Amino acid sequence: VALLEREAELIALKRLLKEDGVLVIEGGAGIGKTALLGAACHQAKELGREVLRARGSELESGFAFGVVLQLFERLVASADTRKRAAMFAGPATSAEPLVRGRSGTVPPTDSSFAVIHGLYWLAANVAARKPLLIAVDDAHWADSASLQWLAYLASRLEGLPLCLLVALRPAEPESEGAALLAVRAEAPVVRPQALSLSAAAAISRETLGTSADEELCTVFWRASGATRFTCGSCSGALNSALGHGAR
């Protein structure tokens, strides 16, 4: 999808991929966080990065390390013995039972320092092989053990060929939890704004064709969360119906 009116956000993503570090995307439902995250992942692959992507889910937020497993499990499972040994070298070894699913060797809720630290080293080892993007969408629904690890990682990225991109809804109570607050404090934040009427109209017409008249486009635009009237080209009747100029 070609993203409209996201030039500044795309520049911030480009900078992240160039310079490494952390970036947070914040905004309400439907504002375009996943779309931006997707654009970053696409660009990262084109730049030759390893991309590990996961998303929090309301239904899975009780599963310890669910998001971490989404990130690493497949990569680890598909690696040959030599690559896997490199991934779990050094302190990363303490994360191996968790990521390789050797149940019984690590309690599923074990978010002890050794496991968190091991996961940090796993990320560092993966990044040492190939620059890495870790992208976590809907972080407000991520399980707390994964968030603890995310906060730990975010504060120790310096010098690693690794960037971390986190998208969240700031209005969700979980976004105010200690771990996510720490990540948010660590990072520059982009806050995509509601699209203008003309962009909403362009999307409406691309989707619906000519049946999307001016009035319908305006309805969609208002429903998209726009609070500002940014287009002066509407008819007088339409403007007064909408309370043109009202903020």
Ligand X SMILES: Nc1ncnc2c1ncn2[C@@H]1O[C@H](COP(=O)(O)OP(=O)(O)OP(=O)(O)O)[C@@H](O)[C@H]1O
For the CB of residue 3, give the shortest distance to ligand X in the complex, in Å: 4
For the CB of residue 118, give the shortest distance to Mg ion in the complex, in Å: 30
For the CB of residue 227, give the shortest distance to Mg ion in the complex, in Å: 20
Q: Which residues bind Mg ion (CB under 5 A)?
A: 33-34
For the CB of residue 192, give the shortest distance to ligand X in the complex, in Å: 7
Sheet holding 132-137, edge to edge: 50-55, 132-137, 162-168, 21-26, 189-190
Question: 32 touches which of Mg ion, ligand X, none (CB within 5 to 8 A by kind)?
Answer: ligand X
Comparing C-alpha atoms, which of 37, 51, 40 is closest to residue 17?
Answer: 40
Question: 194 touches which of ligand X, Mg ion, none (CB within 5 to 8 A by kind)?
Answer: none
Q: Indicate the residue among 98 and 201 with the shorter CB distance to ligand X.
A: 201
Q: Indicate the residue among 27 and 177 with the shorter CB distance to ligand X.
A: 27
Question: 97 touches which of Mg ion, ligand X, none (CB within 5 to 8 A by kind)?
Answer: none
CA 211 to chain centre: 34
Q: Indicate the residue among 127 and 168 with the shorter CB distance to Mg ion.
A: 168
Here the tokens at position 39 are 């654009």
For the CB of residue 34, give the shortest distance to ligand X in the complex, in Å: 3
Contacts of 238 (CB under 8 A, 6+ apart): 214, 215, 218
Question: 140 touches which of ligand X, Mg ion, none (CB within 5 to 8 A by kind)?
Answer: none
**Helix 178-186 to helix 144-154 angle, to the nearest 10 degrees?**
30
Count of CA atoms in the C-beta half-sphere (13 A) of 205: 11
Q: Which residues bind ligand X (CB under 6 A)?
A: 1, 3-6, 27, 29-35, 138, 169, 203
Distance separating alpha carbons of residues 96 and 246, to the nearest angstrom = 57
